[in-house]
Structure 1
Amino acid sequence: MDFPTFLIQCLNAVQYGLLLFLVASGLTLIFGIMGVINLAHGSFYMIGAYMAFALAPLFGDQFILQLLAGIVLSALLGFVLEWIFFSYLYQRDHLQQVLMTYALILVFEEVRSMLFGNDVHGVTAPPWLSGGLSLGGVMTYPVYNLFASAACIVVAIGLYFVVNRTRLGMMIRAGASNRDMVRGLGINIRLLYRIVFAAGVALAALAGMIAAPAASVYPGMGGQILIICFVVVVIGGIGSISGALIASLLVGFVDTFGKVFFAQYSGISVYVLMALILIWRPEGLKSKGY
């Protein structure tokens, strides 16, 4: 493998890992803080991708505005879903949570089928993000992929700042540690959970919107990423944002280079990684902290 090819694979691994982080960070927030096993989280990624497809004709070249509009719409969707459905699951056992969230997957898939059909759709990247960056010789790397990685890094930094450096983040961390004490201090834990859930939905939808121009928009895409995101959450440590970031990048590199060097075994490479890490650290890479 020559250096340009190696560099391209590294960039692909980073991009894939960062997109996984956006989805997995929302999942680990909801799972670790609210205690809800949300099987429908992958559907929010799918909703974001189809939202990008639906909003693209309205915004044209204003891709940043399109992403901001998608974030607002998905956050509102998360807020309403938590109020109508998920607020009743906190005191229920995990089986009821699984059944409820699986039912939501079926509902989202049926709504998607009625609105967009079952065809594969493409989303065109804006002209100012088209083209490629030369990496020597005839090899180029898409500019949009670099933008996607940069956008994910900006969101990751912002998420770290909010969780660790703001009053809202302090309340979130306190609510994860002892919700009864937080409620006793006069903090509206219900509203706090609603905000956390809306943020989790927005992160997953944003990942779908960013991924849409680089890949196809197709039925069932949420189910594929959900499984790998649960792997990321388990490897990183339930409830840990920093653990999810480290685990996402690890999974990105193992999956990408596994397909390059061990194509016939690449399907199990990520699960072998999970097994090895859990043998070493059963609680995940970051069992404490965010």
Structure 2
Amino acid sequence: MDWILVAEQALNGLQFGLMLFLLAAGLTLVFGIMDMINLAHGSLYMVGAYLAAATALATGSFVLAVAAAVIGTALLGMLLELALLRRLYQRDHLSQVLATFALILISNEGVRMIWGEQPLMLNTPAALSGPVELLPGLMYPAYRLLIIGVGLAVALLLFLLVTRTRIGMWVRAGASNRAMATAMGVNIKRLFTLVFGFGAALCALAGALLGPLLAVQVGMGESILILAFVVIVIGGIGSIRGALVGALLVGLVDTLSRTLLPAVMRQLASPEVASNLGPALASILIYVLMAAVLFWKPQGLFPARG
């Protein structure tokens, strides 16, 4: 197999994994700190993509589109937390699942009412529409390199925020012992609202950046939400480091398996069998990975309270 193809797919897996990290980081913060199962997390990703596409169509600026998506979705997330979700913190997980599943249905219908049934187009910035030569013979799209750079920068900033700042100390204290953090003067309600808004902003950033690569359409958040849950289960609930490692593993395994497995199967079986069996095996490989991690480390690779 051509090494250029493998290198391109590895970079695609890195790019996909970093975008999964933006989704999973917010989800693992909400799940690990607030003990809140939020199935509507993917809907915030969808709203961010739609806000970015609508702003880009209105202004012609991709930078303004990303900024509008991040700010607007963060405000929407904080409003949802204040109006509804904080009433679910003391309820059982079944109530949280039912309420946030209802939010998925409401979000999908709300998007249909505002933007219609047809997908919106979000174009790649003209300055980043061409390829970049990374190595002799290896050309890679400049926009995907931008996504990789933004993902790595956000991962570094998020790590520094959680581990090196006072706000991060409050977040870790609230996750470890909510009652003690309150007794020490931390406003837990305000902290939770800010954390939820921050998680919504990360979702919007992922949606805005992936918009030019994927269709901006109703229901786009449901499929990627499943992968985000797989990531936090592999990495460890509540762990930012685990979310990063889990996202990179899922992104690389999913992308490389879809390229390499069909090629390997063609060497072992007939073309008809390979064309059917290869993609099927590739689609379940990340769940096999999750099952293996849970078998050896039931709390994930980097549990937050390990």
TM-score, normalised on structure 1?
0.96
Q: Counterpart amino acid of 1:90? A: Y
Question: Equivalent residue for 2:50?
Answer: 50
Tell me, what secondary structure is at the counterpart of 2:186? coil
Q: Displacement of 1:138 after TM fit? A: 7.4
Corresponding position: 1:215 with 2:231: no
Corresponding position: 1:77 with 2:93: no
Corresponding position: 1:158 with 2:174: no
Q: Counterpart amino acid of 1:57? A: L
User: Are 1:122 and 1:216, in contact at CA under 8 Å, matched by a contact in 2?
Assistant: yes
Moved more, 209-218 or 259-268: 259-268
- Distance in 2, Cα, partners of 1:139 & 1:217: 29
Tell me, what secondary structure is at the counterpart of 1:140? strand
- Output one character per residue of 1:191-221: Cα deviation in whole Å (capped at 9) or x when no partner: 0000011011111111001100122212211
- Distance in 2, Cα, partners of 1:95 & 1:119: 33
- Distance in 1, Cα, partners of 2:191 & 2:46: 25
**Which aligned pairs between 1:1-290 and structure 2 lie closer than 5 A?**
1-61=1-61, 63-134=62-133, 140-262=139-261, 263-288=279-304
User: Are 1:53 and 1:122, in contact at CA under 8 Å, matched by a contact in 2?
Assistant: yes
Number of equivalent positions: 289
- Distance in 2, Cα, partners of 1:133 & 1:283: 41
Residue ranges of structure 1 left out of the alignment (5+ in a row):
none
Q: Displacement of 1:186 after TM fit? A: 1.7
Tell me, what secondary structure is at the counterpart of 1:213? coil
CA 1:59–1:152 in structure 2 vs 1: closer, same or farther (change >3 Å)?
Answer: farther
CA 1:166–1:138 in structure 2 vs 1: closer, same or farther (change >3 Å)?
Answer: closer
What value does the CA root-mean-square deviation take over the aligned residues? 1.5
CA 1:143–1:228 in structure 2 vs 1: closer, same or farther (change >3 Å)?
Answer: same
- Output one character per residue of 1:223-274: Cα deviation in whole Å (capped at 9) or x when no partner: 0001111000100000000000000000011101111122231110110000
Tell me, what secondary structure is at the counterpart of 2:212? helix
User: Structure 1: which 4+ aligned runs deviate by more than 6 Å?
Assistant: 136-139
- Distance in 2, Cα, partners of 1:264 & 1:107: 33
User: Are 1:60 and 1:126, in contact at CA under 8 Å, matched by a contact in 2?
Assistant: no
Question: Equivalent residue for 2:271?
Answer: none
Percent of matched pairs sharing the same residue: 49
CA 1:37–1:53 in structure 2 vs 1: closer, same or farther (change >3 Å)?
Answer: same
Q: Displacement of 1:68 after TM fit? A: 2.3
CA 1:83–1:241 in structure 2 vs 1: closer, same or farther (change >3 Å)?
Answer: same
Q: Counterpart amino acid of 2:154? A: V
- Distance in 2, Cα, partners of 1:160 & 1:68: 22
